[in-house]
Amino acid sequence: MIKLLNPKIVRKIWGGCKLEVMKGISPSRGLEPVGETWEINDEELPYLAKFIDTSDELSIQVHPGDEYAKAYENSLGKTECWIILEAAPKAGIYLGLKPGITKTHLEKALVEGLAINELLNFYEVSAGDFFFVPAGSIHAIGKDITLAEVQQNSGITYRVWDWMRLDDLGKSRELHVEKSLDVINFESSANQLDYFHFKKNLFQSPGIKELCSHPNFHLFLLNMSAGEKLNPSLIDNNRPCSVLNLAGKIRVNQQEISSYEAATFYDEGQLHFEAIEDGSLLLIL
């Protein structure tokens, strides 16, 4: 069975304008802009996939691992990964603590109201960059970036710092400092670029490329030219697989999927991909 999916539209104070164009969404007109579209969002799946577009920085945040999330939130933890689709010049992400930053340093900076972004590594990004972000990694997506995100199916986010930002009513968003300090991974080896499985220029390599493997999602990128056919061998697992199309129309087991659309495949056994146009897609097993 093949199920084409209707996205959930999520409006955010930091949202941009590109998702409205990409997805054919009516203009906001007085509402907060569209920050996310949840493309694969099934309660029965252990993974979730979305598009994110920013016009401002997201909060500096962290997600708990499975053990902490189960104990304190009755939830899965949240490991996630990103593939950059578009980015303005000099746009980037904050990911991991700078060398020498300890829990004591971070806690002191929060108490003193200092700019927490200055304690994090900043990486300029461009289309085709990939980052795997394990639970416990402090991070923030910067402004003027459009990306696809695949994550554990969990909404648990602890905000560490929110740029002193206020909403239209002059109120700041809730912070979760105590829980954040509980779960942030302060180990130096867990705050370096290689820890995040960084990859670059991914859209320039034809064929199938494995991006990451996690107990709740196994992620591949397929870059295909018009007319090309691929029949990847699927790893034996007991859950449905999904496709998030990043660009170009494709056909999967006779189901056409347009740019920025998603589909989940139940009990298909084998997937047959045919590119109707040049494009790229994510395959989630």
> Which neighbouring-strand residues pair with 133?
80
Catalytic residue among 29, 159, 173, 239: 159
d(C-alpha 143, C-alpha 33), whole Å: 13
Specify whether the CB–CB gap between 5 and 29 falls below 8 A. no
* DSSP symbol at 46: S
Q: Which residue has the tokens 């139940």?
A: 266
d(C-alpha 75, C-alpha 65), whole Å: 10
Q: Is 159 a catalytic residue?
A: yes
> Which neighbouring-strand residues pair with 265?
2, 241
Q: What phi and psi values does residue 156 have, to the nearest 5 degrees?
A: -80, 110
Q: How remote is the C-alpha of 258 from its chain's centroid?
A: 20
Specify whether the CB–CB gap between 57 and 14 falls below 8 A. yes
Q: What phi and psi values does residue 21 have, to the nearest 5 degrees?
A: -75, -50
238 φψ region: left (φ > 0), alpha (ψ -120 to 50), beta (else): alpha
**Residues catalogued as catalytic:** 159
